[in-house]
Every structure is written in C-alpha cells, then in structure tokens.
Amino acid sequence: MNDTQLPRLLKIAEVAGILQVSKTAAYLLVQVGELPAVHIAGKTVRVRLEDLQKYIQEHLVEAR
C-alpha cells in the first residue's frame, strides 16, 4: 500500500453481512482478537477489508 492508497474500512454490519453472522458475533470476533479492528474515537469500530479477507482465507473449510 502506498501513501495515497488508504485501506478500505468496513462497518461491523458489513462484516456481519459478508460472514453471514449477527452483528453480535462479528463484534465478538473483534473482542476476542480473532479479527483485528481499528477503533476510531473510542467507540467506533472498523475492520480493514484486507484483515477480513485474511480471516476468511485462514478459516476456510474444504468440502469433502
């Protein structure tokens, strides 16, 4: 990433939608450290798209 390219930050609702889980489940992933997040102004939580993509890749289960 260069200086002019900022990371795409996702809201928890967007993360939940992508993972097809509740917002509570998405928050829990952040709280327990499974999914890195950016905390803005104390309460606002955002997840970098790159971190979510990495999380998904690391947790893929192969179909048998």
Helix (H, G, I), strand (E, B) or coil at 49: helix
What pTM did the predictor assign? 0.84
- Render pLDDT for 48-61 as a digit per residue (tens, 0 to 9): 999 999 999 999 88
How high is the pLDDT of residue 48?
97
- Render pLDDT for 1-45 as a digit per residue (tens, 0 to 9): 555 788 899 999 999 999 999 999 999 999 999 999 999 998 899
Any residues with CB less than 8 A from the CB of 35 and at least 6 apart, and which? Answer: 15, 26, 29, 47, 51, 52, 55
How high is the pLDDT of residue 3?
57
DSSP labels, 3-31:
TT-PPPEEEHHHHHHHHTS-HHHHHHHHH
Distance CA 37, CA 29 (A): 10
| Domain limits, the chain | 9-58
Residue 41 token pair: 């102004």
